[in-house]
Structure 1
Amino acid sequence: MARPLRIEFPGAVYHVTSRGNARSAIFEDDDDRHIFLNVLGQVVKRFNWLCHAYCLMDNHYHLLIETQDSNLSAGMRHLNGVYTQAYNRKHGKDGHVFKGRFKSVLVEKESHLIELCRYVVLNTVRAGIVEQPEQYRWSSYLPTIGKADVPAFLCTDWLLANFSSSLSESRRLYRRFVKEGMAASVSPWAKLAGQIILGTEEFIQNAKEMIGGRETIREIPRQQRHVGRPAAAEIFLLEAVADKQERNRLIRHAYGTYGYTLTEIAQALGVHYTTISKVINCGKK
């Protein structure tokens, strides 16, 4: 079974999602949502987290979590585990509520967290559940703009401080920022590196150094093991590939060092994948 790569350190920020097993609902009614938020509050307090935004959908949820200690995995096990017990007990069920392991993306706070706070609360608009984010009760949008009580676990100070030092003005500007996001055509995930990191080039390279040898662990998805790798097309643009020996060296480099598949390399060079296979196999002799 694939094992997602986790990069954990004090002060790390993550976009976290977890989906229902077999696409099933994880919230059957509002009482379930209340239970989940209560458990989330306990986890935030116990594991010393900051929660910057959340959105509860029918069969999954989104969280933006800042871990002041290196404990994302431990906290998520507790969150999903305790909620699963409560859900099964309430509905008389047994077994898994969530599908496999949770998914997380390491986020550079300074460059991308504000945008993701907007992205998270607009999930219901994109899904067609509501037309305006203020029409949905189960996200952090209403508490952040002052239209609902702020849960004890929700941290709105950092987000609002980015807009103004005045609370009323910062809420007004935040509302405008979210409204502008409804017309955005570019996904914040367009620059996602290796499925797990969102940030500047410097941030990605620093995160890559933290991986520390886990590139060889086969249970971790290939794209995550080789986070920060150059695009396949870039590898063959770095040097002239007219010389066949040089081309073959670059092919083996792309395959062995960066984990590109035969098909991906073939597409970058515009040749058949069997040609790439022959180069790789000859290099092993």
Structure 2
Amino acid sequence: MARQARKRSSTGIYHIMLRGIDRRNIFLDDKDKLQFVDRIIKAKQAAGFKLYGYCLMDNHVHLLIGESEEIGTSIKRITVGYVQWHNTKYGRTGHLFQNRFLSEPVEKESYLLNVLRYIHQNPVKAGIVKHAVNYPWSSYSQYKSAYQDKSSHIDEQLIKAYLSELDNFEEYMNALNDDECLDVEPVQKYTDAMLINIIQSQINADDLKDMPIAKRNKVIKELYQQTGTSVRQLARVLGIGKSIIERAVK
């Protein structure tokens, strides 16, 4: 079946989401996220697109971009170099991102603001931080800098046209809402106890430590993909180091 053509935006603004293939994490540490932000900035400088917002989560990325070229070309500018860098760092090969990124056109100013708020509140709704300003891997802090006339890699002028002062911006970005935008498919959340029960129904966790490395990694990767749990939680429940889990699921 042929792929459905992407909806074109009359404004040239798109909400983009990049996901890790097989739900894998595309960022395993802060240096990875820093490298990806650097790739965004370099692609922006090369292509001249407008960067209105972003948020880097462990296994997906949200971008809010005004195109200057075909949007797929801009995404390739960002991702190709990062994948090469990531694969070299972690000794892996092959795809890192799901082949077809998701996109939606942003046609109205009200939706533009909603999407930006949705992007900034991603780590809050995921329970990572209590306040969006405390998450270092989104464009929220870049907007704060721009409003304070400090250096920023965000194109803030369009948002400032609607939210002219920092107080207006912060009030809007932190307001309670029921925004529904492009997002990852919902993943079942397990408590540690629930996860332990699932694992024990399939294997004896104590046996993992005595398995040959290749077999152990295969079991860990299957559990990771089956449950959609985080590397941190899986390491905690299995009693195995986080670095071992990361190597197994990469």
Fold agreement, TM-score > 0.5: yes
Distance change >3 Å, CA 59–CA 157, structure 1 → 2: same
**1:122 is matched by which residue type in structure 2?**
Q
TM-score normalised to the size of structure 1?
A: 0.59
Question: Alignment partner of 1:17: what SS?
Answer: strand
Give the equivalent residue in structure 1 for 2:248: none
Give the equivalent residue in structure 1 for 2:96: 97
Give the equivalent residue in structure 2 for 1:86: 85
Report if the CA contact (8 A) 1:14-1:64 is conserved: yes
**2:85 is matched by which residue type in structure 1?**
A
Report if the CA contact (8 A) 2:118-2:181 is conserved: no
Aligned-pair distance for 1:109? 4.2
Separation in structure 2 between the aligned mates of residue 128 and residue 2 of structure 1, nearest angstrom: 38
Matches within 5 A, 1:136-151: 136-146=135-145, 150-151=151-152
Unaligned runs of 5+ in 1: 165-169, 191-285
Separation in structure 2 between the aligned mates of residue 56 and residue 18 of structure 1, nearest angstrom: 10
Matches within 5 A, 1:202-221: none
Question: Alignment partner of 1:34: what SS?
Answer: helix
Aligned-pair distance for 1:131? 0.9
Q: Which of 187, 190, 209 pairs up with 2:179?
A: 187
Flag as ranges the 4+ runs of structure 1 deviating above 6 A: none
Aligned-pair distance for 1:126? 0.8
Aligned-pair distance for 1:7? 3.9
Q: Report the identity percentage.
A: 32
Give the equivalent residue in structure 2 for 1:33: 33
Aligned-pair distance for 1:77? 2.1
Aligned-pair distance for 1:10? 7.7
Give the equivalent residue in structure 1 for 2:242: none
Separation in structure 2 between the aligned mates of residue 2 and residue 87 of structure 1, nearest angstrom: 31
Report if the CA contact (8 A) 2:9-2:107 is conserved: no
**2:171 is matched by which residue type in structure 1?**
R
Give the equivalent residue in structure 1 for 2:120: 121
Report if the CA contact (8 A) 1:49-1:65 is conserved: yes
Report if the CA contact (8 A) 1:43-1:75 is conserved: yes
**1:59 is matched by which residue type in structure 2?**
N
Q: Per-residue displacement from partner, 1:161-220 (whole Å, max 9, x unpaired)? A: 2122xxxxx11111011121xx21x32449xxxxxxxxxxxxxxxxxxxxxxxxxxxxxx
Separation in structure 1 between the aligned mates of residue 35 and residue 4 of structure 2, nearest angstrom: 27
Matches within 5 A, 1:225-240: none
Report if the CA contact (8 A) 2:121-2:174 is conserved: no
Q: Which of 160, 163, 168 pairs up with 1:173?
A: 168
Question: Alignment partner of 2:145: what SS?
Answer: coil
Separation in structure 1 between the aligned mates of residue 67 and residue 10 of structure 2, nearest angstrom: 6
Separation in structure 1 between the aligned mates of residue 4 and residue 97 of structure 2, nearest angstrom: 15
Q: Per-residue displacement from partner, 1:35-94 (whole Å, max 9, x unpaired)? A: 11111111112222001010000000000000134x101111222212111111111111
TM-score normalised to the size of structure 2?
A: 0.66
Report if the CA contact (8 A) 1:11-1:68 is conserved: no
Separation in structure 2 between the aligned mates of residue 107 and residue 9 of structure 1, nearest angstrom: 6
Separation in structure 2 between the aligned mates of residue 65 and residue 48 of structure 1, nearest angstrom: 11
**2:67 is matched by which residue type in structure 1?**
T
Unaligned runs of 5+ in 2: 183-250
Separation in structure 2 between the aligned mates of residue 98 and residue 48 of structure 1, nearest angstrom: 23
Separation in structure 1 between the aligned mates of residue 50 and residue 113 of structure 2, nearest angstrom: 14
Aligned-pair distance for 1:8? 4.4
Report if the CA contact (8 A) 1:19-1:98 is conserved: yes
Separation in structure 2 between the aligned mates of residue 56 and residue 104 of structure 1, nearest angstrom: 16
**1:173 is matched by which residue type in structure 2?**
N
Aligned-pair distance for 1:3? 2.6
